[in-house]
Amino acid sequence: MNEITLKHGQGRGCVITRRALFSASHRYWLPEFSAEENSKYFGKCSLSPGHGHNYELIVSMAGDLNEDGMVLNLSEVKHAIKEEITNQLDFHFLNETWPEFDTSKSKGCLPTTESLAKVIWSRLESKLPIISLKLYEQPTLWADYLGNNMEAFLTIRKHFAAAHRLAREELAQEDNELIYGKCARTNGHGHNYLVDVTVRGDIDPRTGMICDLGLLQQLIENLVIEPFDHTFLNKDIPHFANCVPTAENIALHIADILKKPIYEIGANLHKIRLQESPNNAAEVYPETPKLKNLKTNI
């Protein structure tokens, strides 16, 4: 198909998104590794004949509105994504579908979430004015790609249950209730927290990974989930003995815990998002201490 061009009319910029779904399987296995090495590096993902996922792709595009009040004709967008991506990947074995994932060749890489997002970008960028891609391998694991060479973002979602009380010890109860409302009640209350850990780094041209996914998951589990789960944060986590465990402070503390260990396995901690309830969440960006003018797609 021909490249879709923007029609500049009203001069009003807008970002639109298109969602697409496909099911595909893959296997993490490099021929230069022994069976033991593949098992060590890739765990169950190395098992033959592979495993599958229901992928969700979100394509974000930007441009000016045309005289029809659109950035792009969505029928053309749908056709481009279907022709270039989903028709080729749906119900296929990724390792054998696109030449970028042929690891029998020296330039081939494994079809990880982050490398797949990068290759999808390369196949869409001449067809659509994309500004970002988000690819979900599963609801708890996804990658973001912004077209920055080998750089990508990978997010892991975990959860833990914990109780807390929001109160400053130096204040009277009535003063704490003025600040924190019901959250200052003396016996505390609990939440089922969701924590999203987003790392940034370059995709390895062979493994297709920003960093060792198994090690990253283990770090999050061992340093955050296991210590925090089913605790009364004020009493069981030493940091919160003198620090009010608001969602903001919990997110900051998790970032402080994870930043160095994640760097040591080859990635940078980009963001911690802590969702305390369906109505309340906090985000911190360790790489960007001052957030006044922060603009981010991730």
Active site residues: 183, 230, 276
Angle at 175 between CA 171 and CA 180, to 5 degrees: 105
* Rounded distance between C-alpha atoms, residue 202 and residue 225, angstroms: 26
Identity at 41, one-letter amino acid code: Y
Residue in 35, 41, 53, 134 with CA at minimum distance from that of residue 89: 53
Report which DSSP code applies to 183.
G
In this structure, how many other beta carbons lie within 10 angstroms of the beta carbon of residue 160?
Answer: 18
- Give the number of C-alpha atoms closer than 13 A to the C-alpha of residue 137, restricted to the C-beta side: 21
* Rounded distance between C-alpha atoms, residue 124 and residue 57, angstroms: 12
